[in-house]
Amino acid sequence: MNRTAQRPLSPHLTIWRWGPHMMVSILHRITGGALTVAGLAVLAWWMSALAGDGDGYAKFVELAQSVPGTIVLVGLTWAFWQHFFSGLRHLVLDTGAGYELKINRLFSVLVIVGAIFATALTWFVIMGVGR
Amino acid sequence: MSLGDSATPLGRVKGLGASGHGGGHWLEERFTSVMLVFLSLWLIFSLAMLPVFDQMTFTQWLRAPSGGIPMALLIVFAFRHGVDGLKVAVDDYVHEEGTRIGIHYFLNMAGIAGVSIALFALGKIVFGAAA
């Protein structure tokens, strides 16, 4: 990309009022990155631990149930649901629908609220099965 | 950059976009995302339906075709989609072509390493001696 220093850049990040649509957009990237780097590492690690002996698996469980482990797992669960609902929103937007200001804003708010609700529900179920 | 009026619609988009791949990468990212909608919901719901979370229960769940096959697909599509997504972010922020391609190589190799580790472990769980 050839940008010469003389030409002004659009001040795109500094002049807009922050809104739920911008929040959802940037969260889609951040949660996608976190799910790929941390989420897939946990998935591969979980599979490897399951494939190994009981001692190795006990170590995995111990780490997963520690305070930092729980924070990571709950964080990944939220990242998953946020990216999931946001991704559904993108698939709708890809069809050319949902760009009206009010609808777009409503979808964005629903994505944020839905992800928090789904995360809480998921862990409610997990706690019921796991303990 | 003039292909003239005789260029086909495909000819006009080939090689364009930040990735230089026109629409192919974009379409692949959508296809893997739709697959992951089903596969990730399968994972969440089948985990919720397990009676307990321990190594024996997880292993038996994955040794059945109804567990092992969707898990293999989930691993493949999740790594594919994750690497595709990280490449898009790299395309947006890394403007030096050599660096961009170098990072793409790294992401491809890291993704192949990750998917191999996860699939090998799953294979060991599914085809290994029963625990």
Contact A115, A85 (CB under 8 A): yes
Would you state the pLDDT for residue A17?
80
- Give the model confidence (pLDDT) of B20-73 as tens digits: 776 788 889 999 999 999 999 999 999 999 999 999 999 999 999 999 999 999
Contact B44 A33 (CB under 8 A): no
Segments in chain A forming alpha helices (H): 20-34, 40-51, 54-65, 67-94, 101-130
Contact B38, B77 (CB under 8 A): no
The structural domains of chain B, ordered by start, are 27-127 (1.20.1300)
Pick the CATH number of A20-130 from 1.20.1300.10, 1.10.10.60, 3.90.280.10, 1.20.140.10: 1.20.1300.10
Domain spans of chain A, in order of start: 20-130
B77 part of contact set with chain A, CB < 8 Å:
no
Would you state the pLDDT for residue A3?
55
* Number of neighbours of residue A22 by Cβ within 10 angstroms: 13
Q: ipTM > 0.90?
A: no
Contact B37 A84 (CB under 8 A): yes
pLDDT tens-digit profile, chain A (131 residues): 455 667 777 767 677 788 899 999 999 999 999 999 999 999 999 999 999 999 999 999 999 999 999 999 999 999 999 999 999 999 999 999 999 999 999 999 999 999 999 999 999 998 887 65
The Cα A95–Cα A81 span in angstroms is 22
Both tokens assigned to B48: 């919720």
A55 part of contact set with chain B, CB < 8 Å:
no
B130 part of contact set with chain A, CB < 8 Å:
no
pTM for this structure? 0.87
The Cα B17–Cα B25 span in angstroms is 10
Which residues of chain A neighbour B62 with C-beta distances below 8 Å?
50
A30 part of contact set with chain B, CB < 8 Å:
no
**Sequence ranges of the binding site of A for heme:** 83
Which residues of chain A neighbour B29 with C-beta distances below 8 Å?
none
Task: Give the mean pLDDT of chain B.
Answer: 90
Sign of CA dihedral B84, B88, B93, B94: positive
Would you state the pLDDT for residue B1?
47
